[in-house]
């Protein structure tokens, strides 16, 4: 320095004394403090209104405490006040991305209580819609997770595919989301002419599009470094925490209710269960992307084998009669009147009906007391139970890994809070 | 699911296993292909531990039910799953609102390993029904705000929550401001 040293300020002198060795601050405690941050409910990366109290030591996460309840709308309480038929749209809005699964669990529980037989055609139509919804849910998961990692463009590509699926839902039921399509005893309406062809166009296109996502993400260094090897959790701990679904399958346990305890004719279809090996974030990502291909296969097989028949049970005490009969038949008119005003009565009993939703085991517990309204409806939501695994997964890792793990956990706050 | 005879045999086996006694299992129910055991509230950890030894190693769901007007009013259901045999069994425990106490199955106790999955689910039952789980590591409300009074999912709790305040009843408000 040619300038005289005493003309340098204290700051400049200190600046020159900085080396790359550890900085010692005079007089201060050099132990790192634990800092508790609020990952507030308003946050772009928390996948909904999830609040995390994160205790940090530097950049390392030491403890995570999730605080939930910000979108608790009392769905279970509301459903108690409504007739069984009218509770279907209420229950559908719980896990708002997999709405067909919510209604499937509830409707399946009520059908078990009523001991009503669902016609084969209705079961195949249900499977088609459930698998389309599974693909749509995984697409949103993929888009938002890539968004969290920084890959912003994937989000709109996934939404482009989801638009095709929502068009199919609009074609079959009139609504894109929360369609009330599943009813007790079958489905609301038979599919219109052209639905099968349009769905086949979709299934022809979807595997190629999923290949495109793979091409962008699987060879990307940033995605691989952020997902490979981060926050693994073994299957034993996951089982003790009650975690099911793609998280458990990523850890190596091939538990899938569609294969283990098939419902709604899933055993008629031939599909594989993608299973991971290590249980880190990359396996969770890869398992869900592979499930998209398997769902496309199931939809194709269901379309090939779609049987003829009624789309809802013919038991008029449970399902509405077709409109054209109301003009000529007195019994149909009376059935229609009784079903619309009071609703059908369910014999007293309790049932727990589990299905495989995109996030794990989704089950509906219905208790009926013999009247036309359910006495208790409880949805065992997979995200609510899976959230307990977050602290086990992310403790000891960096904040960035915690964000990636939260994205791979795929929590849906509507299901967590109900 | 164990079938009806399997359920009776299971109940007998649990009653005869050591330290349990005949009052541990109060009843069995086989309904629509699902097996339910009613257990005594004081023995819930022991019953779940014995079922775990019999293979039902996964606790899939813990949820509460209000059986109003039947007494004892509050019920807690434990849904167990045997993944190897694909078998499910439900254990039901009934407690009254005067003494809504149960042992929490979440922590590891001296009587065996716990079920960590029951953590948030027991908190939800406490929040919604008022059943206090003794021994739970973090017993506080989970869905409702911490200072909320009342247990919303009970049958005598109004669907609308607090009554709507009009001018004729505004002075009767419970003090909770909107």
Each residue's pLDDT tens digit in chain A (418 positions)?
445 555 677 777 777 776 655 555 555 555 667 888 888 888 876 688 899 999 988 888 988 999 998 999 889 999 988 999 999 999 999 989 999 999 999 999 999 999 999 999 999 999 999 999 999 999 999 999 999 888 888 999 999 999 999 999 999 999 999 999 999 999 999 999 999 999 999 999 999 999 999 888 988 899 999 999 888 998 999 999 999 999 999 999 999 999 999 998 899 999 999 999 988 999 999 999 999 999 999 999 999 999 999 999 988 899 999 888 888 999 999 999 999 998 899 999 999 999 999 999 999 999 999 899 999 999 999 999 999 999 899 888 999 999 999 999 989 999 998 8
Contacts of B136 in chain A (CB under 8 A): none
Do the Cβ atoms of B121 and A112 come within 8 Å? no
Helix (H, G, I), strand (E, B) or coil at A189: coil
CA distance A232 to A394: 9
Going through A157-271 in order, the beta strands assigned E by DSSP cover: 182-183, 186-187
Helix (H, G, I), strand (E, B) or coil at A197: helix
Do the Cβ atoms of B61 and A376 come within 8 Å? no
Q: Is the peptide bond before B72 cis (omega within 30 degrees of 0)?
A: yes
* Tens of pLDDT, residues B83-92: 898 889 999 9
pTM: 0.88
Going through A199-267 in order, the beta strands assigned E by DSSP cover: none
- Residue among B86, B117, B144 whose CB faces A242 most closely: B117
Q: Is A361 on the interface with B (CB under 8 A)?
A: yes
- Residue among B32, B60, B115 whose CB faces A361 most closely: B60
Q: Of the candidates A147, A102, A66, A70, which has an alpha carbon nearest to the alpha carbon of residue A389?
A: A66
Q: Of the candidates B101, B106, B132, B131, which has an alpha carbon nearest to the alpha carbon of residue B120?
A: B106
CA distance B36 to B39: 10
Helix (H, G, I), strand (E, B) or coil at A282: helix
Residue B153, burial from CB neighbour count under 10 angstroms (0-12, 13-18, 19+) = buried
Helix (H, G, I), strand (E, B) or coil at A236: helix
DSSP-derived letter for residue A371 is: S
- Residue among A78, A380, A387 whose CB faces B159 most closely: A78
ipTM summary value: 0.88
Residue whose tokens read 């009342």: B150
Q: Is A60 on the interface with B (CB under 8 A)?
A: no
CA distance A353 to A366: 8
Q: Of the candidates A264, A98, A132, A121, which has an alpha carbon nearest to the alpha carbon of residue A190?
A: A121
How far away is chain B from the Cα of A299, in angstroms, using its nearest Cα? 26
Dihedral Cα B93, B97, B102, B106, nearest 10 deg: 90
CA distance A332 to A314: 12
Q: Are A361 and A382 in contact (CB under 8 A)?
A: yes
CA distance A182 to A335: 20
Determine the length of chain A: 418
Q: Are A98 and A133 in contact (CB under 8 A)?
A: yes
CA distance B24 to B39: 6
Q: Are A394 and A406 in contact (CB under 8 A)?
A: yes
């Amino acid at each position: 320095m040619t300038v005289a040293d005493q003309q340098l300020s204290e700051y400049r002198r200190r600046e020159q004394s900085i080396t790359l060795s550890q900085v010692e601050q005079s007089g201060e405690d050099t132990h790192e403090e634990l800092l508790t941050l609020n990952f507030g409910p308003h946050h772009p990366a928390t996948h909904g209104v999830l609040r995390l109290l994160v205790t940090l030591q530097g950049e390392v996460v030491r403890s995570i405490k999730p605080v939930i309840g910000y979108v608790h709308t009392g769905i279970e309480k509301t459903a108690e006040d409504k007739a069984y038929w009218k509770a279907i749209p209420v229950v559908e809005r719980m896990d708002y991305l997999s709405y067909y699964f919510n209604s499937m669990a509830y409707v399946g529980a009520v059908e078990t209580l009523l001991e009503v037989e669902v016609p084969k055609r209705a079961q195949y139509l249900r499977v088609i819609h459930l698998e389309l919804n599974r693909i749509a849910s995984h697409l949103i998961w993929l888009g938002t997770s890539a968004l969290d990692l920084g890959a912003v463009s994937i989000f709109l590509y996934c939404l482009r595919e989801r638009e095709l699926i929502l068009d199919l839902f609009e074609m079959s039921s009139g609504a894109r989301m929360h369609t009330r399509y599943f009813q007790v005893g079958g489905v609301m309406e038979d599919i219109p002419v052209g639905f099968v062809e349009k769905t086949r166009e979709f299934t022809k296109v979807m595997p190629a599009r999923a290949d495109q996502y793979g091409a962008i993400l699987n060879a990307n260094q940033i995605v691989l470094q952020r997902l490979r090897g981060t926050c693994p959790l073994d299957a034993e701990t996951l089982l003790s925490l009650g975690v099911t679904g793609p998280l458990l399958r990523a850890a190596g346990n091939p538990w899938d209710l569609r294969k283990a305890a098939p419902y709604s004719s899933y055993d008629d279809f031939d599909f594989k269960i993608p299973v991971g090996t290590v249980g880190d974030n990359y396996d969770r990502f890869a398992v869900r992307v592979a499930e998209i291909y398997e769902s496309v296969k199931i939809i194709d097989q269901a379309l090939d084998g779609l049987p003829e028949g009624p789309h809802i049970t013919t038991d008029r005490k449970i399902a509405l009669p077709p409109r054209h009969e109301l003009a000529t038949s007195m019994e149909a008119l009376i059935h229609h009147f009784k079903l619309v005003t009071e609703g059908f009565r369910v014999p007293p009993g309790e049932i727990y009906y589990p299905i495989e939703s995109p996030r794990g085991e989704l089950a509906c517990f219905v208790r009926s007391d013999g009247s036309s309204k359910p006495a208790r409806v409880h949805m065992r939501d997979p995200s609510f139970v899976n959230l307990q695994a977050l602290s086990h997964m992310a403790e000891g890792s960096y904040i960035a890994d915690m964000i990636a793990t939260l994205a791979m956990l795929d929590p849906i706050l509507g299901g967590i809070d109900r | 699911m164990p079938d009806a005879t399997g359920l009776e045999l299971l109940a007998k086996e649990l009653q005869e296993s050591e330290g349990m006694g005949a009052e541990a299992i109060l009843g069995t129910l086989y309904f629509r292909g699902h097996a339910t055991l009613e257990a005594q509230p004081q023995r819930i950890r022991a019953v779940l531990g014995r079922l775990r030894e019999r293979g039902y190693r996964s606790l899939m769901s813990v949820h509460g039910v209000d059986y109003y007007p039947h007494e004892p009013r509050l019920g807690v259901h434990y849904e167990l799953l045997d993944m190897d045999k694909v078998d499910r069994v439900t254990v039901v425990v009934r407690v009254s609102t005067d003494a809504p106490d149960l042992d929490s199955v979440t922590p590891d106790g001296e009587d065996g390993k716990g079920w960590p999955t029951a953590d948030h689910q027991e908190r939800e039952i406490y929040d919604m029904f008022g059943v206090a789980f003794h021994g739970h590591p973090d017993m506080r409300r989970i869905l409702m705000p911490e200072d909320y009074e009342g247990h919303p999912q009970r049958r005598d709790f109004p669907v609308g929550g607090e009554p709507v305040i009009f001018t004729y009843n505004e002075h009767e408000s419970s003090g909770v401001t909107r």
